[in-house]
Amino acid sequence: MSDIELYELPGCPYCAKVKRKLDDLDLEYEVVQVPASHGDRDAVEELTGQTGVPVLVDEAHDVEGMPESDDIVAYLETTYGDGAA
């Protein structure tokens, strides 16, 4: 099991952007597919207080539910990219 989980909806361009970054950084991650209906996304809402995707969970770095693709990509680059400590 990976420390990283990505909550996503197939066909979502914002989710695809995050998946590209995860793949570019050669990171292992689990995909959690969410229902198409926002009203059925209880797991996402529990993590972030909203129902949008993508949402990233990174247990190794105490990230319990980060929304917004741009924020996730920046976090991944900073944490796992060339400039990572």
Domains: count for the chain: 1
Q: Are 53 and 44 in contact (CB under 8 A)?
A: yes
Confidence of residue 51 (pLDDT cuts 50, 70, 90): very high
| 78 CB-near residues (< 8 Å, 6+ apart) | 84
Please indicate, yes or no, if residue 17 is contained in any of the structural domains.
Answer: yes
Query: Has residue 49 been placed in a domain?
Result: yes
85 domain residue, yes or no: no
Q: Could you report the per-residue pLDDT of 24-41, keeping only the tens digit for each?
A: 999 999 999 999 999 999
* Full domain range(s) for residue 42: 4-80
Greatest pairwise CA separation for the chain in angstroms: 40
Give 3-32 as a DSSP string.
SEEEEE-TT-HHHHHHHHHHHHTT---EEE
Q: Is the pLDDT of residue 79 over 90?
A: yes
pLDDT of residue 82: 86
